[in-house]
Amino acid sequence: GAGVSQSPSNKVTEKGKDVELRCDPISGHTALYWYRQSLGQGLEFLIYFQGNSAPDKSGLPSDRFSAERTGGSVSTLTIQRTQQEDSAVYLCASKGPGRHNEQFFGPGTRLTVL
């Protein structure tokens, strides 16, 4: 596709439910990132995939958060037993091969946990 896409664009869930957020990166981009942005705040790094290497999970806030990237393309971020503090916009970005680290962002998924 022309850019990074994410689905759903909005998700409202009840506390304690599991949610899955999807990211389709730009075709051919080997790196994929997940960030979280709370209202009025900057971006908080969550996890980073690069090719077939083990992902950098150092930003995941708890073991309720996990992510997969299947076939080096689509990624799914899963949040188990959601809490109200998980409410945020979840942004995905991808990066192509090259010397510089310009990332291309999707439109995000706005998650609201009631």
Determine the length of the chain: 114
Neighbours of 67 (CB within 10 A): 22
Binding positions for another protein, rule: CB under 8 A: 4, 31, 33, 35, 37, 39, 41-43, 45, 48, 50, 56, 59, 89, 91, 93, 100-108
Would you say 82 or 95 has its CB closer to another protein? 95
The two most distant CA atoms of the chain are separated, in Å, by 43
SS3 71: helix
CB nearer to another protein: give 71 or 98.
98
Q: How far is the CB of 108 from another protein (least distance, A)?
A: 5
